[in-house]
Amino acid sequence: MGGGSFLRSCTYMAQTDTAFLDAPPASETLTEYDHAHMVLYLRLFDAAEEGADWREVVEILFGLDPVKAPERSQSVYDSHLARARWMTEHGYRELLQGGGDGPSG
């Protein structure tokens, strides 16, 4: 399994007050959800780039059990990673134009 440095450096997201949806809201612009989950997106993106196992990532960042709920866990991971990638390709532009306050989650 890859992603050891990610897993060692990550805090347990599920212990925060930031709740998550099974899928981020679909939008062509930044949403309140995006602002609230920016740190989550960054951690998720970094984990994927480092090759971390998605099952470990979803357990650490979302507090989900991929053994007990594999389909939901995979869906939550995939949808949030897609939004994290969207942020790196499109959403960041709004932040640079003053449309965001930066990471707050």
| Tens digits of residue pLDDT in 39-58 | 999 999 999 999 999 999 99
Give the separation between CA 86 and CA 80, rounded to whole angstroms. Answer: 10
pLDDT at 102 > cutoff 70: no
Give the separation between CA 76 and CA 70, rounded to whole angstroms. Answer: 10
> What's the rounded mean pLDDT across residues 75-97?
87
Whole-prediction pTM: 0.75
Q: Identify the residue whose tokens are 């599920």.
A: 14
User: pLDDT grade, residue 93 (50/70/90)?
Assistant: confident
Residue 104 three-state SS: coil
User: pLDDT grade, residue 18 (50/70/90)?
Assistant: low
Q: Identify the residue whose tokens are 């790196």.
A: 88
Q: Please give the angle made by the CA atoms of 72, 76 and 80, to the nearest 5 degrees.
A: 170
